[in-house]
Amino acid sequence: MISHIRNFSIIAHIDHGKSTLADRLLERTGAISERDMKEQLLDSMDLERERGITIKAQAVRLSYDAPDGQQYELNIIDTPGHVDFTYEVSRSLDAVEGALLVVDASQGVEAQTLANTYMAIEAGLEIIPVMNKIDLPAAEPERVAKEIAGVLGGSSDEVIAISAKTGEGMDELLEAIVTRLPPPEGLEADPLRALIFDSYFDTYRGVVCYIRIKDGVLSKGDRVRFMATNNVENADEVGILTPAAVPVASLGPGESGYIITGIKEIDRVRVGDTVTRVDHPATTALPGYKEPKPMVYSGLFPTVGDDFERLRDALEKLRLNDSALQYEPETSTALGFGFRCGFLGLLHMEIVRERLEREFDLDLVATAPSVAYRAFTTAGATIEVRSPQDLPAANQLDHIDEPFVKVMIISPSEYVGTIMELAQSKRGEMGELTYLSPERVEIDYELPLGEVVFDFFDALKSRTRGYASLDYEPSEYRTSNLVRVDVLLNNQPVDAFSAIVHKDRAYNYGNTMTRRLRELIPRQLFDVPIQAAIGGRIIARETVKAKRKDVTAKCYGGDISRKRKLLEKQKEGKKRMKMVGSVEVPQEAFVSALQIDQDG
Amino acid sequence: MGDADLVQIVERAADDLGAYLHVPFCEAVCPYCDFAVVAGRDDEVSRYLKAVTAEINGSDAVGLVDAVFVGGGTPSRVSGLAGLVGALEERHGLAPDAEVTLEANPEDWTDGKAEELRTAGFTRVSFGAQSYDPMVLEYLGRRHSPNQIDAAVDSVRRTGFESVSIDLIFGSPVESDASWERTLGRALEASPDHVSTYALTVERGTELSRLVIGGAPAPDPDVQAGRYEIAQAILQDAGYRRYEVSNYARPGHECRYNLIAWAQGEYLAFGMGAHGHLDGVRFRNVRKLDAYLDAVERGVSPRAGQESIMTGDPGLGNALDEERVVLGLRRSSGVVLDDVATAFMASSAGIRLVEAGVITAREGRLVILKPLLTDEVCSSFLASRS
Ligand SMILES: Nc1nc2c(ncn2[C@@H]2O[C@H](COP(=O)(O)OP(=O)(O)OP(=O)(O)O)[C@@H](O)[C@H]2O)c(=O)[nH]1
Ligand code: SF4
Ligand SMILES: [Mg+2]
């Protein structure tokens, strides 16, 4: 019965306890036996469990017996909190009518609390504010409740205080879910319109789509049409997630679940598309999703050249499950064939790479991440520069614009001075300063995206002892003093090491790269100069001296087997070398030199 | 260099049969040593010699032995070696011109011992001299003085051995270029027939390696390269010909036994930790004294393992060919320029090595011009094969 359905997302700043709250809901509704229960059960990916964060939004259906004797169907979506995965949150919001806005009682409102709240309001959702972790000694329930009320414009009495750890407050929360969230709307008699809000590729079953039925009914065996791709398929299986996949005969309006049609051609399915029935078709599709614009780009290359096709296939499949990922083929003289990929941030980039390596058994090298610049040529053309290679030669270049973002920083007010100093050093332009409460302040800035994604966030965290949080959204492009620094190995530029940096940081980048490479490149048969250059001007130089001695002193009858093993090992090392011009560069050197966690 | 007689000598060794006899007893274990040795077990010497004799007696005859090497350990410390050589001769037979080498430490040497061993059939003595610099000797944990080296070499000469060799170790952190030059000078004054010069190597599991891991200075490879070149110049000037990476000899005094190994020839092996090569199989005995004694005394084989070079991983090409080239390239006269060597020279790695002046083709042979880069060449060769 549609009146007994409640669909909602759990949203919050990172680590405020969304997944733990989902655990309690699973437990209270008996979806998971005590024996199978584990912490953050919905974080099912290895990477999520290792890192202790949610990466993928995860939907699950629960059946709740309310104290009034009625049974409710709850479709909940646990979402990630990290800013890089905002797209996961925003997509989930189109599949629900309500949101639990969770705030850590020991932290208070933070940047993604606000950002997610704005998204939920924009999606027209009913929001239930939930204050979590009240069991913590450091909890400040009164202050935090006031902050939340301030953000939502309500009273602090509406805030439900819980501990997702101890289970305190869960009855009240469940009651609020049933009474305060509206049931979905939609008629069984209408033509089917189901929104695909997520998907993944199953080796045996093909593409599995997660859907939310807006109107109509979808039954097993129906002929269905994917409206954007105009692809007609058979609904081989329809089901719900409990969280295990359980087949059902049909899904009605307001319900969420999955559909399997046996499609193996990945390009026939698109997240955000509408599924309708062939025998009773809808005329207009649901609005769907806006493709997110990547914030950073990086080249991904297989360490083994033959793996290029496997990488393409892996990217296609991964994209089904990560629709924020974008990619296009790219060629590098140093690294061969690969893809220039667009990500929503550095964490997203790291996760994509790890998922590709783990789930598809690939070994990858990633080039230095870069934001997208705009280059203006003297001939009057505008070029989008996603890789340093796209930058026109200096003599054809008129100027370069770089993307700026609108940054919202939330912090205890004592750090305002520190934050202003930091933002200024990163070329920030201050906007409004608002007190959320006497102790908590929101400061807005315009900052270059490149500064924000690469080190501003870490610097902010360390200078505010972890208390400040940040959210950002694209703003405008502005002309900046940017240069391309090339790295030359034995006088030949190595494209994988080029970077576009602000002029003030060019020297530092050049120095760091040449020094790092000197350590990483083994001695060769001749001296190898390593230089950093802007155009024709050398700004840093190191030399790897020629190798003088590589010989085992003794090799007699007793040593032959051992000697052979040593040489075999040395041979394996040689085979992992990539020839860059006449220089042998170990694969690991690319990986290590391009590691961004080091200074520079 | 590249002399025709040398090519003949090294190639002929491929058809020789060698025999290695290991005598593991040492006074104390030197900090850099990773050989199969024991110290403080001298009470087991006679039991050990009996066991080796038994092992020899139980071995299958494969032909006359052309070169014997009694190594260690410090064989010169024990008496009764005559019995070992006798047993070998009885079981396998020695070629009339057989080379029979003894490894010796200068501090053990006496004229009496010289007489006894010459009579027992030894033709060649190789002394672990290591250095003439007392500081270096101390660093290496050696117990002899420079004068004892001279006295021992003299004694060998007087007794009428056919060849005497001196082993030297260079490139320890306490040595200087000048000290190394003085050592070479004094070694030449002793006028040996053969000189081996080894760069000090920190082997895993040795006392030296523990010290280095603990922060003690390690040998510097660039410094060692310089010393290697010093030795090359001085020894060649004095009429010694380099015939392998670390070995120099007056023409005709090359060590036949070692040439067999570099020519991928066959050799028998007896004693704890001894390695042999027969019928395409490389085998080794257990490396522990008690295990060795126990096995032989119980009448079971003391073999610890073996591997066939015929049946290498087929995906990796012919292991036999690869091993032959890798070993042969250690010799200054290199290897025959056959299909395998020619293919390597034509590979991209081969071309780069030729361009860098590291290898060349000369008189139908592939030779290494920069012996200090031998392993670079060999690993490139192996990489070019797979
Ligand atoms: N003391 C206490 N700890 C809690 C409570 N709820 C969650 N935690 C802890 O807070 C940490 C983060 O919890 P998660 O549930 O993973 O947080 P999340 O919001 O899902 O995090 P992301 O998905 O990464 O954004 C974990 O260590 C939880 O054990 C609570 O009520 N009390
Ligand atoms: S004397 Fe020779 S064999 Fe014995 S420990 Fe010293 S180096 Fe090793
Ligand atoms: Mg989570």
Nearest CA to ligand 2 atom 2: B73
SS3 B371: helix
* B273 within a domain of the structure (yes/no): no
* Mean pLDDT (whole number) for A179-205: 95
End-of-domain residue from the set B247, B262, B277: B262
* B71 within a domain of the structure (yes/no): yes
Residues B56 and B143 grouped into a single domain: yes
The domain of B94 spans 3-262
Residues B105 and B198 grouped into a single domain: yes
* Mean pLDDT (whole number) for B347-359: 95
- Which of B260, B327, B356 faces A525 most closely, judged by CB atoms? B356
Q: Is the Cβ–Cβ distance between B26 and B39 less than 8 Å?
A: yes
The span from the CA of A219 to the CA of A239, in Å, is 9
Per-residue confidence (pLDDT) for residue B318, from 0 to 100: 64
Residues B232 and B339 grouped into a single domain: no
Q: Is the Cβ–Cβ distance between A210 and A196 less than 8 Å?
A: yes
Q: Is the Cβ–Cβ distance between A377 and A397 less than 8 Å?
A: yes
* B213 within a domain of the structure (yes/no): yes
Residues with CB under 5 A from ligand 3 (ion): A 18-19, 54
* B275 within a domain of the structure (yes/no): no
Is A295's pLDDT higher than 60?
yes
Q: Which of A549-563, B191-205, B352-366 has the lowest mean pLDDT?
A: A549-563
* B61 within a domain of the structure (yes/no): yes
Residues B255 and B351 grouped into a single domain: no
**pLDDT, tens digit, for every residue of B327-344?**
999 999 999 999 999 999
- Which is the closest atom of ligand 1 to the Cα of A52? 16
Which tokens belong to B196? 């081996």
* Mean pLDDT (whole number) for A411-431: 94
- As for ligand 2, residues whose beta carbon falls within 6 Å of it are B 26, 29-30, 33, 35, 37, 72-74, 105, 128
Using a CB-CB cut-off of 8 Å, the residues of chain A touching B375 are 550-552, 566-567, 570
Per-residue confidence (pLDDT) for residue A306, from 0 to 100: 82
End-of-domain residue from the set B238, B262, B286: B262
Is A77's pLDDT higher than 90?
yes
Is A600's pLDDT higher than 70?
no
Residues B349 and B210 grouped into a single domain: no
Mutate to test the interface with B, among A525, A526, A527, A549 (most CBs of B within 10 A): A549
The span from the CA of A154 to the CA of A157, in Å, is 8
Going by pLDDT thresholds of 50, 70 and 90, the confidence category of residue A595 is low
Using a CB-CB cut-off of 8 Å, the residues of chain B touching A490 are none
Per-residue confidence (pLDDT) for residue A143, from 0 to 100: 93
* Mean pLDDT (whole number) for A273-289: 95
* Mean pLDDT (whole number) for A460-487: 92
Going by pLDDT thresholds of 50, 70 and 90, the confidence category of residue A365 is confident
Residues B126 and B61 grouped into a single domain: yes
Residues B82 and B151 grouped into a single domain: yes
Nearest CA to ligand 2 atom 7: B33
The span from the CA of B357 to the CA of B92, in Å, is 46
List, in order, residues 6 or more apart from B126 with CB less than 8 Å away. Answer: B101, B102, B103, B104, B164, B165, B166, B167, B194, B196, B255
In the stretch 34-93 of chain B, residues with CB closer than 8 A to chain A read 69
Is A108's pLDDT higher than 70?
yes
Is B2's pLDDT higher than 80?
no
* Mean pLDDT (whole number) for A566-592: 85
Q: How far is CA A487 from CA A94, A512, A535, in A?
A: 47, 11, 11
Bridge partners of A409? A443, A470
Closest CA to B245 of B183, B204, B199, B192: B199
Per-residue confidence (pLDDT) for residue A252, from 0 to 100: 95
- Which of A526, A554, A558 faces B246 most closely, judged by CB atoms? A554
Bridge partners of A72? A64
* B354 within a domain of the structure (yes/no): yes
Q: Which of A219-228, B3-12, B263-272 has the lowest mean pLDDT?
A: B3-12
pLDDT above 70: percentage of residues in chain A = 99
pLDDT above 90: percentage of residues in chain B = 93
**pLDDT, tens digit, for every residue of B289-308?**
999 999 999 999 999 998 88
Q: Is the Cβ–Cβ distance between B336 and B365 less than 8 Å?
A: yes
* Mean pLDDT (whole number) for A446-461: 88
The CATH number of residue B71's host domain is: 3.20.20.70
- Do B245 and A558 lie within an 8 Å CB cutoff? no
In the stretch 95-134 of chain B, residues with CB closer than 8 A to chain A read none
End-of-domain residue from the set B213, B229, B262: B262
Q: HEC profile for B331-351?
A: ECCCEECCHHHHHHHHCHHHH
Per-residue confidence (pLDDT) for residue A594, from 0 to 100: 72
* B300 within a domain of the structure (yes/no): no
What distance lies between CA B151 and its chain's CA centroid?
23
Which tokens belong to B365? 């042979």
**pLDDT, tens digit, for every residue of A367-381?**
888 899 999 999 999
Q: How far is CA A336 from CA A302, A326, A367, A495, A579, in A?
A: 8, 20, 12, 11, 11
Going by pLDDT thresholds of 50, 70 and 90, the confidence category of residue A466 is confident
SS3 B35: coil
* Mean pLDDT (whole number) for A247-267: 93
Number of compact structural domains in chain B: 2
* B282 within a domain of the structure (yes/no): no
B382 shares contact with chain A (CB less than 8 Å): yes
Chain A residues whose C-beta is within 8 A of a chain B C-beta are 525-526, 547-561, 563-564, 566-568, 570-571, 573-575, 579, 582
Using a CB-CB cut-off of 8 Å, the residues of chain B touching A523 are none
Q: Which of A292-306, A370-384, A413-427 has the lowest mean pLDDT?
A: A292-306
* Mean pLDDT (whole number) for A442-457: 90
Per-residue confidence (pLDDT) for residue A599, from 0 to 100: 41
Residues B143 and B232 grouped into a single domain: yes
Locate the chain A residue with the closest alpha carbon to B371.
A551
Residues B251 and B325 grouped into a single domain: no
Residues B128 and B223 grouped into a single domain: yes
Using a CB-CB cut-off of 8 Å, the residues of chain A touching B380 are 574
Per-residue confidence (pLDDT) for residue A462, from 0 to 100: 87
A6: left (phi over 0), alpha (psi -120 to 50) or beta: beta
As to burial, measured by CB atoms within 10 angstroms (0-12 exposed, 13-18 middle, 19+ buried), residue B284 is buried
Best probe residue, ligand 2, of B25, B30, B38, B148 (max atoms within 8 Å of C-beta):
B30
Is B312's pLDDT higher than 60?
no
Residues B54 and B127 grouped into a single domain: yes
- Which of B224, B267, B358 faces A557 most closely, judged by CB atoms? B267
**pLDDT, tens digit, for every residue of B47-85?**
999 999 999 999 999 999 999 999 999 999 999 999 999
Tell if the pTM clears 0.95, that is, is over it.
Answer: no
B31 Cα–ligand 2 center, Å: 9
Ligand 1 close to Cβ of residue A15 (< 6 A): yes
**pLDDT, tens digit, for every residue of B113-167?**
999 999 999 999 999 999 999 999 999 999 999 999 999 999 999 999 999 999 9
The span from the CA of B106 to the CA of B147, in Å, is 9
- Do B383 and A574 lie within an 8 Å CB cutoff? yes
The span from the CA of A236 to the CA of A260, in Å, is 6
Scored b (16 or more CB within 10 A) or e, A114-152 reads: bbbbebbeebebebbbbbbbbbeeebbbebbbbbbbebb
* Mean pLDDT (whole number) for A416-442: 93
A38 Cα–ligand 3 center, Å: 13
Closest CA to A404 of A369, A357, A371: A371
Is B181's pLDDT higher than 60?
yes
* Mean pLDDT (whole number) for A71-87: 95
Q: Which of A11-20, A490-499, B42-51, B71-80 has the lowest mean pLDDT?
A: A490-499
- Do A558 and B327 lie within an 8 Å CB cutoff? no
Residues B230 and B128 grouped into a single domain: yes
Locate the chain B residue with the closest alpha carbon to A572.
B383
Q: Provide the mean pLDDT of chain A.
A: 92
Q: Is the Cβ–Cβ distance between A320 and A301 less than 8 Å?
A: no
